[in-house]
């Protein structure tokens, strides 16, 4: 039936939703909370219809997400029907039953996902089934292609290089060092990166301290023509809208099925036209991958899927049980990366960055096997990487001559002190992440942590082991509370816990 649009300015955060008068709900032979198909000119989408007397019969109350999808305005007429039968429900059930899906079935799932035909429940059912039953590498390739095909495609006209990390280690600002090194050597590297979901700072958040990161595909093409490199937020490019929808369900479920991780990463590489990539797999206690065996298996899968898709993948397992460098949080990390490009910076950041950059230089034929790291270090030391970074910042509308001192850092600080003399035995990634998040990262750019000592450092009783930075006393106090609860580090010989009060349990 045709209903008249009444725009309602309500943001559901992603869920497609409309409001109908109970009379129309009855006409459609449906119940409140069920889904309807909406058609307007060439656009169509599926939405959940709630029932309300606030919308007159003959009208349909359109909330923001649906308005954007259909591109309708007040007073337009849309076709509303209750005939919503996603064909992919059967495929999801098949995976639940442990059977192998065909390319067509996987395409149907991804297609129905993107057109909104699948509910959150359906998507959760698929992801949980995938988590338990797994996907074969062939299915993973199909999934990767299906996700890539739903998004924008880019072509830079020549060989394109990329660095990617599967994530999970705080303070991992290496992309801000690797990209300019690789680009300074003459390789094309259009780095698209993510914003933090659960971490203190994604590469896109860190880069945003120095330059803009939200660009369209056309704008990115221009940046690449000027600077031959970029560090932008992939989310703005619409490279893999299906992946964003999967992540919206994976995140609250706190699952990240391996095949989904591989497809998510490789689909975006496929869309960006990458031919050569180095993949950082942080491994160890507190990482996504905890053992070398697991890392080896994952590498095998990435390389195999890459081969099928025409992408040469070089996997590098890196030590991931403590943060990279000393800084955690957007501004603190941007500052540390800039210092490193200027000739300073911590050893762990320099070694990891040049190691990974070196692999790309070797893949690009600019260094013989094993000589890449040395070349990367030379480029870093020569100041060419810094010069390239300033070009990238300029191309992305930042201040090219920015200095580390200019970067604003939170002014409310608190030092966590060593309780005893000794060596730092452990730094707990997850605890550090939670303290940094409590301090306000990634939304508050100046919030974060600075580690004065790393694992193995000798500290004296009363020495600061780490400093918390926040922009308000309230957030600082939140972060201190979290820190006192979680014990983010241990010093050999310190008492781990003393208890006198049952309330402490």
Q: 121 vs 495, which CB is nearer to a second copy? A: 121
Task: Please report, for residues 83, 164, 187, 280, the alpha-carbon distance to residue 274 in angstroms, rounded to integers and kept in the order given.
Answer: 41, 11, 12, 16
Interface segment toward a second copy; rule CB under 8 A; list 125-133, 173-181, 218-226, 270-278? 125-133
Q: How far is CA 93 from the centre of its chain?
A: 29
Check if the beta carbon of residue 38 is closer than 8 Å to that of residue 105: no
Please state the closest distance from residue 286 (CB atom) to a second copy, in A.
Answer: 18
Distant-in-sequence, close-in-space partners of 76: CB < 8 Å, separation ≥ 6: 4, 5, 40
- Contact status: 96 vs a second copy (CB under 8 A): yes
Please state the closest distance from residue 178 (CB atom) to a second copy, in A.
Answer: 31
DSSP string, 131-179: HHH---HHHHHHHHHHHHHTS-----SS-BEEEEE----TT--THHHHH
Task: Give the CB-side neighbour count of residue 179, counting CA atoms within 13 A.
Answer: 29
Q: 25 vs 177, which CB is nearer to a second copy? A: 25
Interface segment toward a second copy; rule CB under 8 A; list 126-134, 272-280, 325-333, 410-418? 126-134
- Contact status: 131 vs a second copy (CB under 8 A): yes
Strand partners, 17: 48
Task: Please report, for residues 292, 317, 424, 486, 490, the alpha-carbon distance to residue 421 in angstroms, rounded to integers and kept in the order given.
Answer: 33, 33, 9, 20, 11
Please state the closest distance from residue 381 (CB atom) to a second copy, in A.
Answer: 43
- Taking Cα atoms as reference points, which of 198, 354, 194 lies closest to residue 288? 198
- Contact status: 11 vs a second copy (CB under 8 A): yes
Is the C-alpha dihedral spanning 212, 216, 220, 222 positive or negative?
Answer: negative
Q: 19 vs 179, which CB is nearer to a second copy? A: 19
Question: What's the full length of the chain, in residues?
Answer: 505
Q: 132 vs 425, which CB is nearer to a second copy? A: 132
Radius of gyration from C-alpha coordinates of the chain: 25
Q: 124 vs 137, which CB is nearer to a second copy? A: 124
Q: 39 vs 50, which CB is nearer to a second copy? A: 50
Please state the closest distance from residue 29 (CB atom) to a second copy, in A.
Answer: 8
- Contact status: 133 vs a second copy (CB under 8 A): yes
Tokens of 214: 């939200």
- Contact status: 22 vs a second copy (CB under 8 A): yes
* CA gap 257, 190 in Å, rounded: 27
- Contact status: 244 vs a second copy (CB under 8 A): no
Give the orientation angle of helix 241-253 with respect to helix 120-133, to 10 degrees.
Answer: 80
Q: Can you tell me which of 120, 149, 214, 421 binds a second copy, judged by CB under 8 A?
A: 120
Q: Are strands 189-193 and 229-233 parallel, antiparallel or unpaired?
A: parallel
Please state the closest distance from residue 66 (CB atom) to a second copy, in A.
Answer: 13
- Contact status: 249 vs a second copy (CB under 8 A): yes
Please state the closest distance from residue 53 (CB atom) to a second copy, in A.
Answer: 5
Q: Can you tell me which of 99, 132, 292, 417 binds a second copy, judged by CB under 8 A?
A: 132
Q: How far is CA 64 from the centre of its chain?
A: 25
Stretch 33-92 residues interacting with a second copy (CB under 8 A): 33-34, 50-54, 63, 89
Please count the residues of this chain forming the interface with a second copy, following the rule CB under 8 A. 42
Q: 118 vs 331, which CB is nearer to a second copy? A: 118
Q: Over the range 157-194, which residues count as b (16 or more CB within 10 Å of their CB) and which as e?
A: eeebbbbbbbbbbbbbbbbbbbbbbbbbbebbbbbbbb
User: Which active-site residues does the annotation give?
Assistant: 256
- Contact status: 255 vs a second copy (CB under 8 A): yes
- Contact status: 218 vs a second copy (CB under 8 A): no
- Contact status: 129 vs a second copy (CB under 8 A): yes
Please state the closest distance from residue 155 (CB atom) to a second copy, in A.
Answer: 34
User: Contact positions toward a second copy, by CB under 8 A?
Assistant: 8-15, 17, 19, 22, 31-34, 50-54, 63, 89, 93, 96, 98, 119-125, 128-129, 131-133, 249, 252-255
């Amino acid at each position: 039936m045709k209903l008249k649009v009444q725009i309602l300015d309500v943001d559901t955060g992603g869920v497609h939703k409309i409001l109908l008068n109970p009379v129309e709900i009855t006409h459609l032979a449906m119940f409140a909370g069920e889904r309807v198909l909406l058609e307007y000119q060439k656009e169509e989408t599926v939405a959940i219809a709630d029932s309300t007397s606030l919308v007159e019969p003959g009208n349909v109350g359109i909330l923001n997400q649906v308005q954007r999808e259909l591109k309708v305005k007040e007073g337009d007429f849309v076709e509303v029907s209750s005939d919503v039968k996603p064909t992919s429900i059967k495929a999801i059930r098949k995976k639940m039953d442990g059977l192998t899906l065909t390319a067509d079935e996987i395409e149907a799932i991804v297609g129905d996902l993107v057109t909104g035909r699948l509910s959150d429940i359906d998507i959760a059912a698929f992801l949980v089934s995938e988590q338990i039953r797994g996907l074969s590498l062939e299915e993973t390739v199909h999934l990767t292609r299906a996700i890539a095909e739903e998004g924008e495609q880019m072509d830079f006209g020549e060989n394109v290089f990329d660095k990617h990390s599967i994530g999970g280690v705080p303070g991992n600002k290496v992309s801000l060092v690797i990209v300019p090194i690789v680009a300074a050597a003459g390789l094309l590297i259009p780095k698209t990166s993510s914003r933090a979901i659960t971490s203190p700072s994604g590469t896109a958040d860190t880069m945003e301290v120095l330059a803009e990161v939200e660009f369209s595909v056309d704008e990115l093409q221009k940046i690449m023509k000027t600077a031959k490199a970029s560090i932008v937020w992939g989310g703005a490019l619409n490279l893999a809208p299906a992946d964003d929808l999967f992540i919206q369900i994976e995140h609250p479920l706190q699952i990240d099925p391996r095949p989904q991780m591989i497809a998510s990463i490789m689909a975006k590489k496929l869309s960006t036209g990458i031919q050569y990539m180095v993949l950082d797999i942080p491994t160890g206690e507190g990482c996504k991958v905890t053992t070398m065996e697991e890392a080896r298996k994952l590498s095998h899968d990435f390389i195999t899927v890459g081969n099928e898709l025409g992408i040469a993948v070089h996997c590098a397992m890196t030590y991931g049980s403590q943060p990279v460098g000393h800084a955690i949080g957007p501004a603190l990390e941007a500052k540390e990366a800039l210092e490193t490009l200027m000739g300073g910076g911590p050893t762990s950041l320099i070694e990891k960055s040049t190691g990974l950059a070196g692999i790309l230089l070797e893949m690009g034929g600019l260094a013989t096997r094993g000589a890449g790291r040395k070349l990367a270090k030379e480029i870093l030391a020569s100041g060419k990487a810094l010069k390239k970074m300033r070009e990238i910042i300029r191309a992305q509308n930042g201040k090219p001559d920015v200095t580390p001192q200019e970067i604003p850092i939170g002014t409310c600080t608190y030092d966590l002190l060593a309780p005893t003399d000794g060596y730092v035995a452990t730094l707990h990634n997850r605890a550090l992440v939670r303290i940094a998040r409590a301090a306000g990262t990634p939304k508050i750019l100046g919030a974060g942590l600075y580690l004065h000592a790393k694992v193995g450092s000798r500290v004296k009783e009363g020495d600061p082991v780490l400093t918390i930075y926040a922009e308000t006393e309230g957030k600082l106090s939140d972060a201190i509370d979290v820190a006192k609860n979680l014990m983010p580090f241990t010093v050999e010989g310190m008492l781990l816990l003393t208890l006198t009060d049952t309330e402490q349990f």
